Amino acid sequence: MKKIGFVGLGIMGKPMAKNLLKAGYPLTVYDVRPEPVQELVEAGAKKGSSSADVAAKNEVVITMLPNSPHVREAVLGKNGVLDGAKEGLILIDMSSIAPLVSIEVSKKAAEKGVKMLDAPVSGGEPKAIDGTLAIMVGGPQEVFGEVKPILEVMGGSVTLVGEIGSGNITKLANQIIVALNIAAMSEAMLLATKAGVDPEKVYNAIRGGLAGSTVLDAKVPLALQGNFKPGFRIELHIKDLTNALETAHELDVPIPLSSQVLEYMHALKVDGHGGDDHGGLIQFYERLAGIQVRR
């Protein structure tokens, strides 16, 4: 089994790293916060002192970080992955970042003989815990083949979609669809509630038809409970939609619906809800309608 280093033990990274441990992979972990590192050490991992230290001791390094600047710092910065990397190291960046940054980092990595994949994920904390994430991969076929068994420990579906950067393009497409699904769900449930029809019964009536979706099944039950504990925070979805908008502008692709939902999410963040689950977008509509969707 390949020795793996894991950098970034947040809501997603921590359970992903735990699944690698459960599968028997030798694991060294690093995070700027000591608490999740200690938790992983108690589960059987070794403690790394920096991203460079993690890279120096392993054959594969996985990064799972919030956004493009964090990946640049963790990989290209002082005591970053490339400072400790030996030629032949495989870097798998599983963060959701701007595709052009993935390409930039991969070029710097190649100068040091480091091979790279961008492999963002979808599914939120529940699927990270279960090891059933959807993993979208960009990079060379031969590198993908070498690490696919590692990715399959964390993902229920693992798909190579193209060259480096393609993984994050796919993730942006995913995040557009998820955001617009949540917005549509919110509008529909508010309409039912305002009309005096039980939203839970509406949900059960439509979930088996064409309007049914994974998003509907994941988010409506939580909205009915008023449970917006973060599986994927609004502030992170803002980051993804911002990256989608910037990428779309670079490519001259209009995405007007995404830009609207981005503004709704920004409004919630301003009101202190940036740390809520992205299903909490329904709160924006509740405020507009003057009514809550609750059991």
Residues assigned a catalytic role? 171
Please identify which residue in the block is written with the tokens 């890279």.
55
DSSP 269: I
CA dist 259 and 156 (Å) reads: 30
Side chain identity, residue 167: G
The burial class, CB within 10 Å (0-12 / 13-18 / 19+), for 113 is: exposed
**Which pairs with CB-CB distance under 8 Å and at least 24 residues apart come from 192-198?**
193/289, 193/291, 193/292, 193/293, 194/289, 194/291
Q: What are the backbone dihedrals phi and psi of residue 88, each rounded to the nearest 5 degrees, phi first?
A: 100, -10
3-state secondary structure of 11: coil
* Residue 55, token pair as written in the block: 């890279």
Contacts of 270 (CB under 8 A, 6+ apart): none
Do the beta carbons of residue 74 and residue 80 sit within 8 Å?
Answer: yes
Q: Where are the alpha helices (DSSP H) in the chain?
A: 13-22, 34-42, 51-56, 68-76, 81-84, 99-111, 124-130, 141-154, 166-194, 199-206, 214-225, 234-250, 256-268, 282-289
Query: Which residue(s) pair with 159 in the sheet?
Result: 136
- 213 to each of 34, 179, 180, 275, how far by Cα in Å? 38, 13, 12, 24
